[in-house]
Chain A
Amino acid sequence: MKARIIVTLKTGVLDPQGKAIEAALKSLGIDGIDSVRQGKVFDLEVSAADGPTAEATLRTACEKLLANTVVENYAIEIL
């Protein structure tokens, strides 16, 4: 099955890249965007037979490698 993991910075953690993108959007004249936070998306193919098993595997993947939980949150979507 296919899955998607979204990793985002926790609230309050400074995101210099997000700020730079925010400034770039303003300089392009794209108005109405109040703030930008940059994150990461991982698209995965999981061989697990069922959703709960896949989710457990993906949770381990996030905790052990894909996210640094000191500064990042993660969300798992089974597609």
Chain B
Amino acid sequence: MHAAVVVFPGSNRESDVARALRRSGARVSMVWHADHDLPAGTDLAVLPGGFSYGDYLRCGAIAGRAAAMDAVRAHAARGGLVLGICNGFQILCESGLLPGVLMRNVNRRFICHRQTLRVERTDTRFTSAYQKGQVIDVCVAHGEGNYFADPETLARIEGEGRVAFRYCDAAGTITVEANRNGSLNAIAGVYSEAGNVLGMMPHPENFVEGLIGGTDGRGLFDSLAA
């Protein structure tokens, strides 16, 4: 597994996600946003968290049009894997690789806390190391994570089983309290139509070492590197 992590001005989680990928056995290259190509042999393109372009205009809007994103789009069109975390999810929505948009959190606050998620599917390249319905303990840290899509798009996403993760309580129940950013249908992560692109707001890369507080994020990187 060769992963290419795309670094934008203002990205700040690239080292953490690279470390998590290496831990699971992946080979990792860093790609600058102005590059026009991904390294030859790239299996997985990763858009890390952060505040690309200072969140100017809209979160992910300017990064979504960066030169490297043309390469990521071409990689996705060939069936290559793409993972966007937090700001990376916002960039995927802004670039048209995923449907919908991440709006300001419903409580208007930046939220930063541990968050339980329900794994909706395990028959994907991203989640095969988890159990279906498993509740994982990860972290969220964002101001704009409120997933929104128009009713037709939302119905299509749900109908095609493209929700990857939902915000839930510790027992796996979807509650209003557990969905603190106000996302429609408590959506925390979404797959593309072909299933090779995943965007998610929570940070699995935060929790890959027990020393740091948890290891539930490992499953995602282990699945990808398997």
Q: Compute how far the CA of A70 lies from the CA of B103 in the bound complex, rounded to whole angstroms.
A: 11
Cβ contact within 8 Å between A68 and B58: yes
CB neighbours of B108 from chain A (8 A): 16-17, 20
Cβ contact within 8 Å between A70 and B149: yes
Known: A66-B57, A70-B150. 17 other contacts (CB 8 A): A13-B103, A14-B103, A14-B148, A16-B103, A16-B106, A16-B107, A17-B104, A20-B108, A64-B65, A65-B61, A65-B62, A68-B94, A68-B101, A70-B93, A70-B100, A71-B101, A71-B103
Which DSSP category, helix, strand, loop or mixed, fits chain A's interface? helix
3 closest cross-chain pairs (CB), A and B: A16-B108, A70-B101, A16-B104
Q: How many A-B residue pairs have CB under 8 A?
A: 36
Q: Compute how far the CA of A48 lies from the CA of B106 in the bound complex, rounded to whole angstroms.
A: 41
Q: B101 — nearest CB in chain A belongs to which residue?
A: A70
Q: Which residues of B contact A (CB under 8 A)?
A: 57-58, 61-62, 65, 93-94, 99-101, 103-108, 146, 148-150, 182
Interface size class of A (residues with CB under 8 A): 10 to 19
Query: How does the 8 Å CB contact mask read for A50-73 relative to B, with 1 for contact and 0 for none?
Result: 000000000000001110101100
Whole-angstrom distance between the Cβ of B101 and the nearest chain A Cβ? 5
CB neighbours of A20 from chain B (8 A): 108
CB neighbours of A71 from chain B (8 A): 101, 103, 148
Q: Compute how far the CA of A17 lies from the CA of B148 in the bound complex, rounded to whole angstroms.
A: 16
Q: Which residues of A contact B (CB under 8 A)?
A: 13-14, 16-17, 20, 64-66, 68, 70-71
Q: B150 — nearest CB in chain A belongs to which residue?
A: A70
Q: Compute how far the CA of A68 lies from the CA of B61 in the bound complex, rounded to whole angstroms.
A: 8
CB neighbours of A14 from chain B (8 A): 103, 106, 146, 148, 182
CB neighbours of B148 from chain A (8 A): 13-14, 70-71
Q: Compute how far the CA of A13 lies from the CA of B65 in the bound complex, rounded to whole angstroms.
A: 24
Q: Compute how far the CA of A71 lies from the CA of B146 in the bound complex, rounded to whole angstroms.
A: 13
